[in-house]
């Protein structure tokens, strides 16, 4: 069997806090969740979400119908917050270098029948998937697991900064889309195969994103203000030909 991380990330805190966290979030913002039944109830799954606001990651973890182990930028894993994120089973990711360790952790989750979360844009922006890393497609190619698109709507005010929160009482929609599937590709995998698969996944996610906006009759907040975009080099999470 292909290699991956030896141990599954922690799950106890991830399971235990979700109901309480959902209640607390809904005290501040009405959160409407659509299409939860589109997430397969069993087996490995990859959730791939657009990235608009600073609360997208927590919302994905709290309102997914199944607990999620999400790739999270390693800068968040400092101090007490870092300890909490690790205890909650989140996976640190180095965005500035190839990070096979993070990918192995995601593979371990999916191969164990769990749910891995990823933001293909790599950083917050307008949420239109203009920049699209290949990690989600790569995970699908390696495992054969379905990718469920997730559209975050209302998580950043129009014109708001990268760290801006929605106004208190402002509604938030989390929309789960139709699963995307691709045949598992045995090692070795070529860069071109990963790239082509990523193009197909992006097209599917864009279609689901447009459908989510039409369904909710809402729009995305537009681009970040000038100078707010984070540097996000296209390093690649892991060389496609590396055996994991």
Sketch the domain layout of the chain as residue ranges. 12-155+170-216
CA distance 168 to 210: 26
Catalytic residue selected from 51, 69, 133, 204: 51
For the chain, give the percent of residues with pLDDT over 90: 68
Longest Cα pair distance anywhere in the chain, in angstroms?
Answer: 50
CA distance 157 to 27: 18
User: What is the model's pLDDT at position 242?
Assistant: 55
What are the C-alpha distances in Å from 180 to residues 11, 136, 217?
26, 11, 24
- In the residue annotation, 51 being an active-site residue is answered as yes
Q: How confident is the model at residue 3 (pLDDT cuts 50, 70, 90)?
A: very low
Q: How many other CB atoms are there within 10 angstroms of residue 75's CB atom? A: 12
Peptide bond into 188 cis (omega under 30): yes
CATH topology for 12-155+170-216 is Glycerol-3-phosphate (1)-acyltransferase (3.40.1130)
The pLDDT tens digits of the residues spanning 30-84 come to 999 999 999 999 999 999 999 999 999 999 999 999 999 999 888 878 888 888 8
User: What is the model's pLDDT at position 231?
Assistant: 61
The pLDDT tens digits of the residues spanning 109-126 come to 999 999 999 999 999 999
pTM of the model: 0.90
pLDDT at 27 over 90: yes
Average pLDDT over residues 197-225: 97
40: DSSP letter: -
């Amino acid at each position: 069997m292909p290699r991956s991380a030896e141990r599954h990330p922690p799950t106890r805190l991830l399971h235990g806090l979700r109901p309480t966290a959902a209640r607390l979030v809904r005290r501040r913002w009405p959160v409407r969740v659509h299409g939860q039944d589109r997430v397969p109830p069993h087996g490995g799954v990859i959730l791939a979400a657009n990235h608009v606001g600073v609360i997208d990651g927590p919302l994905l973890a709290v309102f997914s119908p199944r607990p999620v182990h999400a790739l999270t930028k390693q800068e968040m894993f400092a101090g007490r917050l870092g300890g909490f994120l690790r205890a909650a089973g989140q996976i640190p990711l180095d965005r500035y270098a190839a990070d096979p360790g993070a990918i192995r952790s995601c593979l371990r989750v999916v191969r164990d029948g769990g749910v891995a979360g990823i933001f293909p844009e790599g950083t917050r922006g307008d949420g239109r998937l203009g920049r699209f890393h290949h990690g989600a497609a790569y995970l699908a190619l390696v495992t054969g697991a379905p990718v469920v698109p997730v559209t975050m709507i209302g998580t950043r005010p129009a014109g708001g900064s990268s760290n801006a929160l929605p106004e208190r009482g402002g509604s938030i929609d989390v929309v789960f889309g139709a699963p995307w599937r691709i045949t598992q590709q045995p090692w070795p995998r070529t860069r071109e195969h990963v790239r082509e698969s990523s193009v197909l996944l992006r097209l599917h996610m864009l279609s689901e994103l447009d459908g989510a906006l039409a369904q909710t009759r809402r729009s995305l907040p537009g681009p970040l203000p000038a100078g707010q975009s984070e540097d996000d080099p296209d390093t690649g999470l892991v060389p496609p030909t590396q055996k994991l």
